[in-house]
Amino acid sequence: MNEIFKALADPTRREILRVLRERERSAGEISELFPLAKSTLSGHFNVLKAADLIEQDRRGTTITYRLNTSIFEEVVTHLFDFFGTQQPIAQRKES
Amino acid sequence: MNEIFKALADPTRREILRVLRERERSAGEISELFPLAKSTLSGHFNVLKAADLIEQDRRGTTITYRLNTSIFEEVVTHLFDFFGTQQPIAQRKES
DNA sequence: CTACTATTTCGGTGTTTGGCGAAATACCAA
DNA sequence: TTGGTATTTCGCCAAACACCGAAATAGTAG
């Protein structure tokens, strides 16, 4: 859980998650979207992977990353631990 | 929003939030629950305040901190931006 | 095997962060 | 005013972090 929050603390990593939300992408595709060295992004991928926020999938020399949505439940659950709202939460419109 | 995630990234700060969830407490009371210098905790309070996660209230020389639950909605909303689940979230039991 | 492409790992640098104790501030009471 | 208590701010240090370019790895094709 600590690793998840650590991973979410960096704006670049949150942006990577946002980008992967649309569709899965290769490391190279992602790198075109950021003004950062590929090695820097690779480091971010490692952090996100360690937090189990993304999964990877190799095809040939290309590595594709995709969001692990199942972890989402876990984060929300822990947020409840902090805030413990009694009020109904989030009458949310579908996104 | 960045400040919120940064604030949540540290385990001590998350524990402070958990402790404040039960009831509001003074800086001194909180300091008794942690093996850290008061000055260190004061720094954490500042981070949590900057993120608008806690509010403070002075009575005499004693400062009381309390959780700002309204920020919770905001965090959940942004989590949806990352994970964009369509499923209903969290049919949660009251805690 | 070599050559090429995609990506990661390594070694380094500058900045940020979490910790401390000491000094400063804020308040109340005498 | 002085004294006492509660808390914060100030310097400092060490560890962690984000970043880079260069070198290494992993795979495919010839």
Per-residue pLDDT tens over the stretch A18-52: 999 989 999 999 999 999 999 999 999 999 999 99
Q: From B16, which residue of chain A is nearest by alpha-carbon distance?
A: A82
- Length of chain A, in residues: 95
Give the pLDDT band (50/70/90) at residue B85.
low
* pLDDT for the residue A85: 55
B36 touches strand D (CB under 7 A): no
A57 touches strand D (CB under 7 A): no
Q: Which is more confidently placed, B23 or B94?
A: B23
Q: Do B72 and A86 touch (CB under 8 A)?
A: no
CA dihedral A91, B50, B42, B15 (to 10 degrees): 20
Judge whether residue A83 has pLDDT over 90.
no
Which chain B residues are within 8 Å of A54, Cβ to Cβ?
none
Lowest-pLDDT range, A50-54, A73-77, B60-64? A73-77
Whole-structure pTM value: 0.84
Closest CA–CA distance from residue A67 to any residue of chain B (Å) = 8
pLDDT at residue A89 tops 70? no
Q: What would the two tokens of residue B46 be?
A: 């500042």
Cβ of B64 near strand C (distance < 7 A): no
**Confidence band, pLDDT 50/70/90 cuts, at residue A74:** confident
**What pLDDT score was predicted for residue B87?**
43
The residues with which B44 forms a beta bridge, in sequence order, are: none
B92 pLDDT exceeds 70? no
Contact B5 A6 (CB under 8 A): no
- Cβ partners under 8 Å of residue B35, min gap 6: none
Q: How far apart are CA B87 and CA B75, in angstroms?
A: 18
Report the C-alpha gap between A26 and A56 in whole angstroms.
Answer: 9
Kindly give, in sequence order, each residue whose CB lies less than 8 Å from that of residue B14, ignoring residues fewer than 6 positions away.
A5, A82, B8
Inter-CA distances, B10 with A7, A68, A93, Å: 11, 23, 31
Residue B44 is inside which H or E element, if any?
helix B38-50
Q: What are phi and psi of B54, to 5 degrees?
A: -135, 160
Residue B84 has a pLDDT of 65
